[in-house]
Structure formats: structure tokens, C-alpha cells
Amino acid sequence: MDPGRYHRTRPRYPEAMVQAIVDASPGRDVLDVGSGTGIAARQFEAAGCRVLGVEVDPRMAEFARSIGLEVEVSRFEAWESAGRTFDAVIAGQTWHWVDPEAGAAKAAEVLRAGGRLALFWNMFQPSPEVADAFAAVYRRVMPDLPYRPWQAPVPDESSSFFTRPAEGIRATRAFTVPERLRFAWERSYTRDEWLDQLPTAGGHNRLPIEQLEALLTGTGAAIDALGGSFTMRYDAVVITAARTVSA
């Protein structure tokens, strides 16, 4: 993974979501779990927060430090807080890599009373036209995949993608009942912008180079057929709960 490309191309989060999390927290000290290159951290800093990142990938952490962020390298479950506490623990696009119970328990340890745990993901919501065009490319280039990219349903309220984090939070008995919030937003992409970010998403960087090049070529042609640009709709989905006074 190229940290520079990742930071340049990956989608940000809607400002309304960031502000809602900040407003629900008792203060401005934030711990960013799986902070990556600092995309979410930068947005929370812009909202007036002081952010410390915890990131398992040293390359991502090094990039984040190069743009002025404070980051410590560790798996969150094994991270040593050294007695530090926070008003919010956030995780953007990363909590599915964290053990849901151990992660929630660690968050409870480092959150002040009333502190906010907020886990969030950007979920693609493509138009049918875009989904069909992209799906055709993936079927042609990767016919042996056991699932169908751009045709599989987006995880809904009952999906384990969302229920497992909520169950992990409940298991600690240290939080209020988890809530789920959604923030709809959209972004327009040119052909080149979409192709620039494509290798950063969903394991694409691990594809054989010939297959990735075929995917890029086919996707570029699909976007050209759509007029050279398109609008991608997203839902930013948040699972959030507050640290209770006592476990």
C-alpha cells in the first residue's frame, strides 16, 4: 500500500458526522484507532480536537507523522495507554480489523466517564447505472471471485458487519446502549480520480499486476462510457455509545 496515494485519494467523512461525534463527547481529547495516514485525525483536528493515533502499520504511521500528526505503532488491543485517558475513541474504516470485545474493553479503559466511542465506515451507495457498469468489468476481469463486486447488497441493519461491533460494546457492560447513525453524502469523480484511488480499496493492491491493469483499463472505459465522470453516493454509518460512570 502506497501511503501517499492512500491519503490523497481515499474518501473523507462528512463534516456533519465529525461535528456530531465532537458535540456528543465531553471534551476534545481524541484517540484515533487504526489512524492510517491521518484522514479522520485531520478532520477531527479541524473541528478543534487534540488527536493521538494508534496504527498497526509503521508505513502509515510514518506518513501521518510526516504531516504533523502524533501516532504510536501498535495493535489497539495491545496498546499501552500509560494512564492516558480520552474524551472520545474513534475508528474510521478500521474496527472490522479489531476484536470487537477486546477492542471495546480497551476503549472503556481509556475513556473518561461520559466519553464517546464512535466507530464509522463509508459505505458505497452507487447508482444502478454505475453499479451495473462496474460489475460488468469485475465479472469479465475476475470471473472466479466467489462474490460479485458492485452487485452484492450493501450491509444493512442486520448485517454482522454492524451487529458484531455493537455486541462487543454491550459485552463490556461499560457503555450505554449502542446507537447507529447514518450521514448521506456524495462525491463526484473524474475518470482519473477514480482510477487513482482504485488500487487502495478492498485488497486491489494485492492483485497480480496484469489483473489490476486489466481492471483499471476496463473501469476507465466504463467511466468514459458514462461521460467521463460520475457521482458516487455514500452513507457514513456510525456505531456509537457513551462510557458509563462505572463498569
Residues 74-103: what's their mean pLDDT?
97
Contact in structure between 116 and 49 (CB atoms under 8 Å): no
* d(C-alpha 93, C-alpha 69), whole Å: 18
* d(C-alpha 95, C-alpha 179), whole Å: 16
Residues 101-129: what's their mean pLDDT?
97
Q: Minimal CA–CA distance to 110: which of 91, 84, 90? A: 84
Contact in structure between 86 and 112 (CB atoms under 8 Å): yes
- B/e letters for 35-50, b = 16+ CB within 10 Å, e = fewer, are bbbbbbbbbbbebebe
* d(C-alpha 149, C-alpha 147), whole Å: 6
Residues 39-68: what's their mean pLDDT?
98
Residue 22 is predicted with a pLDDT of 98
User: Can you list the domains of the chain with their CATH numbers?
Assistant: 3-126+153-188+234-242 (3.40.50.150)
Contacts of 19 (CB under 8 A, 6+ apart): 47
* d(C-alpha 186, C-alpha 198), whole Å: 17
Contact in structure between 72 and 82 (CB atoms under 8 Å): no
Q: Assign 74 a pLDDT band (cuts: 50, 70, 90).
A: very high
Handedness of CA 7, 11, 14, 20 (dihedral sign): negative
Contact in structure between 91 and 120 (CB atoms under 8 Å): yes
Strand locations in the chain, DSSP E? 29-33, 50-55, 70-73, 86-92, 111-125, 179-190, 229-242
Residue 247 is predicted with a pLDDT of 47
Residue 157 is predicted with a pLDDT of 66
Q: Please count the helices (runs of H) and the strands (runs of E) in the chain.
A: 9, 7
Residue 207 is predicted with a pLDDT of 86
Residues 54-74: what's their mean pLDDT?
97
Higher pLDDT, 247 or 185: 185
pLDDT, tens digit (0-9, with 9 covering 90-100), for 182-237: 999 999 999 999 999 999 987 787 889 999 999 999 999 999 999 999 999 999 99
pLDDT, tens digit (0-9, with 9 covering 90-100), for 25-42: 999 999 999 999 999 999
Q: What is the mean pLDDT of the chain?
A: 94
Residues 61-65: what's their mean pLDDT?
98
Taking 50 as the threshold, does the pLDDT of residue 132 lie above it? yes
Whole-model pTM: value is: 0.93
Residue 110 neighbours by CB distance under 10 Å: 20
Taking 70 as the threshold, does the pLDDT of residue 141 lie above it? yes
Taking 90 as the threshold, does the pLDDT of residue 149 lie above it? no
